[in-house]
Structure 1
Amino acid sequence: MGKSLSKNSSTTSSTSCTSYTSTLSSKPQTPPSNSRSNSFLNKRKSTFSVKSSSKWSLTISHPKNTPPSNSVLMISTPNTPSGTPRNMFTDSSDYFNVTSYDNQSSSEFKFVDGRRFYNIDSVKYFLPNDEIEMDRLKTQHYLLHNVFQSNFSSPVKEILKIGGTEVLDLGCGPGAWLLDMAEAFPKSNFTGVDLSNTLIGNDEKNIRFVKGNVLDGLPFKDSTFDYVFIRNLSYAFSEHDWKVVINEIIRITKPGGWIELMEPELKARNEGPITIYLNDAFIKDLRSQNIFINITMELEQFLKDTKQIDQVFHDEKSISCGSWAGRFGELACEDFMMIIRAIKPRLSQIIGVNQDDYDRLLESIPDEMNEHRTCFINHRFWAQKLFSI
């Protein structure tokens, strides 16, 4: 497998939100037309300083090392009746299994403003853990698959087809990625690990769930898995935690096996003023909890620092937000809004507003994203563990 990757091969991937990124530095950040929101925003800026950092918003795309060829998994969009618009946030029962939470331990969770969150002191992840959030993650899986046109980038398709391949999805959430992969490769075995079991009721025979926290050590022997996949844990770990996680997943990966990590940049490109205001407050809150928000810039080096990885391959895609980018843009905008809405009790206190004013700010985001053509950048890194000497 590793021989198919050439160290001399490279490609340049574009991360612009169409041509608008090239004019980002000169594009005026004019408020949207909602005068009530603009007036409120100007008042709040006097007490909460938010500035757009040039190192985030003006990141220049650069050549990436990628394999000369890579077979990827292609799956089709879920079938819907002809002429019927699909609401991916509510019409998911025909594509994903509905999850029951009845047998989860109540002591592990707390309820805030009607949403369920983890109640574990050692867990930094502070987005909800309820059916609304599971629906969001399922739709996000669908969105990311279509943006990258694949479920994975590691060159593992052939060994997955042959069978007997052991695959781990760490932080599997509702199991959307696992279910897709297990159905596509029925001869391979798939294990999901998360803090709570959201895979109850799945009928795939080649899937198992293991409850666990990677920071406490994974309950697997050395060199157990041929392929380890991680996605969207940017809200969960400090810099030290990330290094622990990386060493742990390398430990359980077989020599010659593949590791793949997929994380977003937390700062948007081409933001309008209200998006800047809320997103920067969100990032400020993450930093106050010692969450390492720069993981996409450091992940390649973290992998190499283990001395068990030779070369790290990297791809990145722009995810446009707003109706200007079609249905997927609408989904991406709603995904961002659902995150910001889910943490309203916390974030509204940080910026010092009541819930009505917070909701008013949120209402302005779709129009603002359309005006400024906002996008987020999502990264994939994949690497092969060195063979034993």
Structure 2
Amino acid sequence: MVGQQQTVLPLLAEREFGLSGYTFIFTYVVAFGVTKAAANYVAGTWSDRYGRKPVLIIGWLFALPVPLMLIWAPSWGWVVAANVLLGINQGLTWSTTVIMKIDLVGPRQRGLAMGLNEAAGYGAVAVTSLAAGYLAAQYGLRPAPFLLGVSYTALALGLSTLAVRETRDHARAEAAGHLPRADGRHDHLHSELNSRHVFTQTSFREPALSSASQAGLVNNLNFGLSWGLFPLLFASAGLSVDRIAVLFSLYPAVWGFGQLFTGALSDRWGRKHLITAGMLTQATALAVIALADTFALWALGATLLGAGTAMVYPTLLATIGDVAHPAWRGRAVGIYRVWRDLGYAVGALMGGVVADLWELRTAVWVASAISVISALVVAIKMYETHHRPTTSSAPEGASDG
């Protein structure tokens, strides 16, 4: 659903709606990011209270009008409104799938589970970005690229209703057998935290949770900036729509495929150093993109950006699962995703303002510098959260933070 519009909407803004200010063009990314962030919080709270499956189904109902609104939009306001609905859809559905996989897999392979989940999602973003770009080049910017979304919504709603099973009882069973870490690291994070305390621990107070939240925000700041800015940067060099689609699909393709391995690696090597290295790799990639002016160098930068994101994305989610108690895990995941997905809005606004005041490349340099700062925060503040039991006979809950 996201991939169908990433290549097309920035070009649609310029060519069909005559928008020229970068900040104004990026309003659709801001609308998506803010509403997705809010929906993440609701998804976490409702999934703990009412169960996971109802939230998943409700989320897909919000997606039904999105592709039709994009096809028929007579003004840019319709595009922004469609992205509000898309943000609600993504917040409810993707948060719920994350929580469900953490429920199902148990403590030892959270990284692998998150890698599989995010690989499926961002692999689909890459394929659809490429397909939408091809359809736009062959048949025009509307309606062909957005017909993909019509079929995706119908398929997802059918699968969610008929094939998906409720997983909340798995979390309850894990909570009943939960044992604290042997090092006493999480003794203050008991099962009775209310929603306000979960928010403060995840956002500010608990070192690993708060470090993950800021790194997630910066990661999606880079994604939000790329969503609104990269197609315009590439088009400024005279690249065709289909070549822009190839470049734009490289980032989520490497990101998606890489997570098949990086999530599992975090189960073996630990979380902290993979996150730090991933943020530094993103900073390097953005510097390459800012310096480049050819298709080959931009492809290299997009590939590096995807690799850095693959190192970070599933590992941050696994970190939240390591630390959060099963009784309030859904809320912690939702709050982490609030901060992470606010990065869409922050990146789009920052990119638009900086590009309007200076130029497109300056905005990319600013994002690179922010990524370096984020890596330093993780390196200094976060501790290693993937805590293995000392003996093979230790109960499974003993490895859970």
Please tell me the TM-score bracket, short chain as reference: under 0.3
* Greater share of residues in strand: 1
* Greater share of residues in helix: 2
Relative contact order, higher structure (CA 8 A, sep 6+): 2
TM-score by length of 2: 0.23
